[in-house]
A and B are shown apart, each in its own frame.
Chain A
Amino acid sequence: MRKLSMFLWGICLSLSLFAQPTFPVNGVADQRDPCYAFTHATLVGQNTLTDATLVIRAGKISAVGNNVSIPADAIIIDCKGKFIYPSFIDIYADYGIAIPQRPQGGGFFGPQQITSNQKGAYGWNQAIRSDVDGSKLFTVDDAKAKPLRELGFGAVLTHQKDGIARGTGTIVSLASMKENQVIIKEKASAHYSFNKGSSTQSYPASVMGSISLLRQTYIDAQWYKNNPDKEGMNLSLQAWNNSLNLPQIFDAGDKWAAMRADRIGDEFGYQYIIKAGGNEYQRISEMASTKASFILPLNFPQAMDVEDPNDARFVALADMKHWEMAPSNPAAFEKAGIPFCLTTADLRDTKAFYTNLRKAMDYGLSEGKALEALTQTPARILGVYDKVGSLEAGKIANFFIATGPVFQEKTQILQNWVQGVKYGIKEENWSDVKGTYNLTVQSAQGVSNYTVDAKSMSAANVIGKDTVTGKFSYDGKLVKLSFAPDKKSKGNIRLSGVSNGDSWNGYGEDSAGNKLTWTATLKSQPVAKADSVKKKDAVKTGKMVYPFLPYGWEEKPKAENLLIKNATVWTSDEQGKLENADVLVKNGKIVQVGKNLSDASARVIDGTGKHLTAGIIDEHSHIAAASINEGGQSVTSEVRIADNLNPDDINIYRQLSGGVTTSHILHGSANTIGGQTQLIKLRWGSNDDELKFQGAPGFIKFALGENVKRSSSTQGNQRFPDTRMGVEQVMEDAFTRAKDYENEINRVTAEQKSKKGTVIDPYKSVRRDLELEALVEILNKKRFITCHSYVQTEIVAAMKVGEKMGFTFNTFTHILEGYKVADKMKAHGANASTFSDWWAYKNEVFDAIPQNPAIMQRVGLNVAINSDDAEMARRLNQEAAKSIKYGGLTEEEALKMVTINPAKMLHVEDKVGSIRAGKDADLVLWSDNPLSIYAKAEKTIVDGIVYFDRQKDQEMRKQVAAERNRLILKMTGEKKSGGPVGPAVPSYQVLLNCGDHSHSHGFLTIDMD
């Protein structure tokens, strides 16, 4: 057992082992190929072997098994009682590769940088860093390798964590050798993210911009392959193409981002391996639907110090719930059968790795799965399972020796062998010092014998005449012991020596100063008790809710058959207002409107004294999206709000409470031709895809005036346009290009058709351009415009461009001077979506008047009132009512401005906007006349599902309060029990808007453009 004690070797050995033939030697050549045999060990793997032998030679495993013949030249290390594991693999490291820091800059009105700063024959966008080759950047960094080795890691996939395309990663061992020797696979992976990192180029400035850039780059790279002459040398695209056959790893970092990434992969035929963020358990079935393998970090949030109720006040329930449930993330993946790796990435301190891993196990992660996630899975994903990931002959000798099963709390890792070189970790624990020893002390006075009972590395009793407590220390090699020979003696015998395995010997002095020598030999060891694993109680957490917010659903809601009886029904169509009427809803649709209806299958809702209207439609909203503005360029028709919907927005629920059922989520107004919009229904609790309004035609946001010419930029404007003259030209130029583009596609298609046997694919020679493609859709009336606009000049100029180029401005939104040119708008065929009474918040709205909606309506335009504001959206019925006051509209006319009128301008009037048989059951039951400030939405129904119920809301408030209280107590308990606790962090709400706001939303809200 204590045959060989060999620490101190590793360091000097590693310097000379495996010399490289091409490198000159300064000194005497010292090539060694040592062979080691690790005997009597438990070798852990898919089939764990006990009392087995592992033989390594020249950095590789040469034999593994129970009946291995030990080579004659092997150095034998007895590993009785020890566990040997294949060293772990971290698939998501930045070991040895620095992350460039981003210089200052950015923001809605920040400085602009139109072109890339990267010098050389690279692509146009600085964030596409596909040319980065991790193996070229990589340098060995022992200070960084050491903490990883101490955790049992032997190899990592490292890459430069910077940019949207991040180039290739390289697999390296954590050996402290020259770079040449540690690289296991030079190009092992290609990496992507949504984060432009150190790129200072303006584009992209949003999640959806990053998505579009990735999509366009896939297209460009393919096109470049076929048309190298047209582009010239493009090292970025070339590198992109060259790395497409590698494992593709996407840093998503969030559950919805994972979905966004996966959709890009699906579009271009690549399956990403997705780096998670830790909240994926909240949508595990969606994660499974990606069919991706995941890389899971273990950075579970710390408890917050919520002792002070004032501090606790601003910590949101969702943050506390996430704190409680985050450790269940790996277990959720295991349960869902989704393959995953574990990584040390994102940990504040790598020391927390085992603590957090064990926490994940308390929440249900199995040891087997954890081991797999750290060895086999990453190795297989990266295609290096022939080299690392298990203890098999032929593989690199990466393994660690532990005192027991590695995930158990008491287990210590003793040594980690990387490429056949030993790195000592807790070697002092190799042999358990515990036991009784026969101590013989020899001096001129004679020999005296004692028994030493070593309790631990720092405690021992010495039994002679009496039993005394000695001062003892043992560090694996050096032994110190000082003790009183008997209870009466005042002085101590002080011994100092070394351990040679089972025996110690050394030198000492007694209290009189007499020199002495001593030896101690092991007599007996305590029988090692099996590490008794206490069966921990399953961790109790709060319930999962959809979305992961207060007022979420525990079970996904289902459509009911409903019969609303005896209400005042505002149909918003020819039927007008019906008193004491009934509305029957079945399977999500309105089936009947009339009197005295009955249906046995329907739940009856008494509408007596109440008012029923169609669900409110907000033509201009910015809720439920991860980003809104892609202001990096003046034309960004390629970006799509649909790509970055965010169902976890409390404003969905808040707006349901104001009767809103459909919202048109618009791109912002930072640029002339903005992004594609998305119509959603406020299906609270659904996922991003389910939010979408099915069957609605596509729209796109345009913008004119001050915002697009950057009038408020504090740092000047370099981006064309800077005037309304330029804005007009941006539009004319874009559509001219779009027409040429379409013509070229048609020409090439015709040419291909004329040649028999030619596959019809115009994009083989014409670069498919996502930006122009969206504009061609407009020209072909397959996509419609909603155009942010204020003053009469720009409105008329825009319509003239449209008329010249052959398209219509479907909707002018904001349109506060629409009243000045309403006749021209009518002639053009535009709709108007406006505010009731906003004005004077900037120069271009100084002629805005609250009579605007009514004038436009009376001139014959289809007019809607929109919100553009997450707060005001809750009161759109009241905003509509203001046109009664200012413009003399009737109540029914006013209500139509937030129901059927917006439905018409969005081309969904066949589905929503009025109460009529056959339409979607999107309904609101109001407590009072819906045009009155005193009216409250009591029930808001979408597709026949009651998504908001004021009565139920009252109940849920109590539940939210109770749940908050439970979690505050739990966090405070964590603090009391000495667990890691950080300061309370107020939960900020980021509210995206289009840059037209001076409306405040409360002090915890960060208004972002």
Chain B
Amino acid sequence: MQIKNIATFFAVMLLAALMPVFAQDDIYPAKPYNGLLFIKNATIHIGNGQVVENGTIEVNAGKIVRVGKDIAIPADDVKVFDAKGKHVYPGLILSVSNLGLVEVPTVRATSDVQEIGTINPSIRSIVAYNTDSKIINTVRSNGVLLANIVPDGGVISGSSSVVQLDAWNWEDAAYKMDAGIHFRMPALFVRPNPFAAFLGNTAPAGDPVKRSLEQIDQVKATLREAQAYGKQTGVKETNLKMQAMQGLFTRKQKFYIHCDVVKEMLVAIDFVKEFNLDVVIVGGSESWQIADLLKKYNIPVILNQMHSLPTLPDDDVDQPYKTAVLLQKAGVLYAINDEDGQHRGKNLPFNAGTAAAYGLSKEEALSAITLNAAKILGVSDRTGSLEAGKDANIVVSEGDILDMRSSIVTMAFIQGRQIDLNNKHTQLNERYKQKYSLK
């Protein structure tokens, strides 16, 4: 079986090398596999902080059956992968992403991320998530197997869905649909723009912070109306926007609040207090300042960009890098994300690696891009760690996946299906190795 698998691998590589057209049309979503599957001899990073040395993972019909040291492998027709010397991880999760919505940001026609309007709760990212995006395969080849696809724009941007990254179409990809609604909080600090006058953009009169607070009040008023709408009985006129928000009040949907500064995060707490919403802060670059408060209200944080500059020249030179450890110490649930538009999310493990370099343990850093993310996105019952009962979303790496020096993903499985790690990059690489006769 192992030999067969390697043969398939070479066949794909050979095919890739010979293919005249490189539109990734030959990279197929993997077929479902309902049999038994074992990954053995691996250093298994569970995702919850634990590590099993020289262990085995048993998978049946796409679900993890058990993970441990002394797991017997039957001699039947089962798939067995020897991961000797390799590291095995849960599939990494991009907790905020525009994957599949945006192909080339500067080409308007390829962007489906930002809708017109300010209050758009009924807008659903999932319906525009393009599984054929050329970006997706480059991301998963670095171990990212799931992503939360988030719409942008307006104040209430719409709902996000969690997808798995190996599918024929968005319905197949959907992992958890419409799992949260995104609120982009208007800034609660004055943004003087020294260039606005030069560019001829005169700021609207009045206090911008006051204006923001008014907008926030409008959002609260909308939520109150939605809540009332849900309590209405009998025949009523349908309001799609109101309807779309009902899951918030039953906490079936998360309420993602995109904000950075302390005042904004303090206002975010209002939404827990008044509406009992399941609030998640996205961004939170200043979250370390009020970590205790966030802990108190059980508000998790998605750190959108570890690789950022400190806010002020005064700040510690490594401030964004060490934000994660400050949240960790305070007991806040947080995830690390990679929203960087220059490489489109594939450096997620290295964002976590940076946090590990600046204070987290490697396993904590791993949790920040696996189990923590799954918890925050509401999918931890199915993924985020290599634990019995969960989907077999598994990544195998030559070495430490958090360190680019050793992070070479050799295999990946989504729901027990071994996915093709080829992508536009590897194909172009093969094509030009051919040109230059490189080995």
Contacts and interface: CB of A to CB of B under 8 A. Distances in A.
A840 B103 CA distance: 7
Contacts of B200: 102-106
B312 A859 contact: no
A147 to B, nearest CB: 25
A417 B431 CA distance: 88
A211 B434 CA distance: 50
Contacts of B54: none
Which are the 9 A-B pairs with shortest beta-carbon distances?
A: A104-B200, A998-B341, A650-B313, A851-B429, A933-B353, A849-B425, A842-B106, A838-B342, A933-B403
B106 A711 contact: yes
Interface in A951-974: 953, 957, 960, 964
Contacts of A998: 105, 340-342
Interface of B: 103-107, 134-135, 138, 187, 189-195, 198-201, 260-263, 285-286, 289, 305, 307-314, 316-318, 320, 339-344, 346-347, 350, 353-354, 356-357, 402-408, 424-426, 428-429, 432-433, 436, 438
A549 B106 CA distance: 36
**Max chain A C-beta neighbours (<10 A), residue from B305, B316, B432:** B432
A881 interface: yes
Contacts of B107: 842-843
A1002 B314 contact: no
Contacts of A871: 307-309
Interface stretch (A19-27, A45-53, A312-320): A312-320
Nearest to A320: B314
B343 A110 contact: no
A985 interface: yes
A711 B108 CA distance: 12
Contacts of B346: 837
B199 A1002 contact: no
Interface of A: 102-107, 110, 310-311, 313-314, 316-318, 549-551, 650-651, 653-654, 657, 706, 711-712, 819-820, 822-823, 835, 837-843, 846-847, 849-851, 855, 858-859, 869-872, 875, 878, 881-882, 884-886, 891, 929, 931-936, 953, 957, 960, 964, 983, 985-991, 997-1006, 1008
Given A654-B309, A933-B357, A934-B403, A847 B428 contact: yes
Contact of A983 (B103, B190, B432): B190
B433 A855 contact: yes
Given A654-B310, A855-B432, A989-B313, 20 more contacts: A102-B200, A317-B312, A551-B317, A840-B103, A840-B135, A840-B344, A841-B342, A843-B107, A847-B428, A849-B425, A850-B425, A855-B433, A875-B354, A885-B408, A933-B356, A934-B353, A960-B314, A997-B342, A1000-B339, A1006-B195
13 contacts: A104-B199, A313-B286, A651-B309, A835-B342, A851-B426, A855-B438, A871-B307, A885-B407, A932-B403, A1001-B308, A1002-B309, A1003-B261, A1008-B195
B405 A987 contact: no
A957 B310 CA distance: 13
Contact of A822 (B317, B402, B404, B436): B436
B122 to A, nearest CB: 28
B354 A933 contact: yes
B104 A840 contact: yes
B339 A314 contact: no
A258 to B, nearest CB: 20
Contacts of A837: 343, 346-347
Contact of A933 (B310, B344, B405, B432): B405
A248 to B, nearest CB: 26
A872 B340 CA distance: 11
Contacts, number: 203
**Max chain B C-beta neighbours (<10 A), residue from A102, A840, A842, A988:** A840
B405 A931 contact: yes
A314 B405 contact: no
Contacts of B201: 104
Contacts of B285: 1002-1003
B343 A839 contact: yes
Contacts of B405: 881, 884-885, 891, 929, 931-933
A989 to B, nearest CB: 7
A382 to B, nearest CB: 32
Contact of B404 (A102, A550, A884, A1005): A884
Contact of B402 (A550, A819, A933): A933
A931 B200 CA distance: 47
A885 B404 contact: yes
Contacts of A886: 425
A199 to B, nearest CB: 12
A859 B199 contact: no
**Max chain A C-beta neighbours (<10 A), residue from B135, B341, B343, B356:** B343
Given A316-B313, A855-B438, A985 B307 contact: no
B436 A858 contact: yes
Given A933-B350, A934-B356, A878 B312 contact: no
Contacts of A869: 342
A998 B339 CA distance: 10
B137 to A, nearest CB: 12
A947 to B, nearest CB: 13
Contact of A1003 (B192, B260, B316, B438): B260
Contacts of A991: 309
Nearest to A655: B317
Contacts of B190: 983, 985-986
Contacts of A931: 404-405
A1001 B260 CA distance: 13
B185 to A, nearest CB: 12
Given A1003-B260, A1003-B311, A843 B104 contact: yes
A712 B289 CA distance: 38
B429 A313 contact: no
A850 B320 CA distance: 26
A998 B344 CA distance: 10
B199 A106 contact: yes
Contacts of B424: 849
Contacts of A1005: 309
A550 B314 contact: yes
Given A878-B350, A885-B404, A932-B405, A549 B313 contact: yes
B359 to A, nearest CB: 11
B407 A870 contact: no
Nearest to B354: A933
A711 B428 CA distance: 26
A632 to B, nearest CB: 14
A307 B365 CA distance: 37
A858 B314 contact: no
Given A847-B428, A933-B404, A1001 B309 contact: yes
Contacts of B350: 878, 933
A851 B260 CA distance: 35
B369 to A, nearest CB: 14
Nearest to A847: B428
A1004 B309 CA distance: 10
B346 to A, nearest CB: 7
A444 B312 CA distance: 82
Nearest to B423: A849
Nearest to B290: A310
A991 B312 CA distance: 12
A316 B105 contact: no
Nearest to B192: A985
Contacts of A711: 106
A933 to B, nearest CB: 4
Contacts of A935: 357
B97 to A, nearest CB: 13
Contacts of A316: 312-314
Nearest to A837: B343
A133 B191 CA distance: 39
Given A106-B198, A849-B425, A929-B405, A934 B309 contact: no
A19 to B, nearest CB: 46
A953 B436 CA distance: 48
Contacts of A997: 342
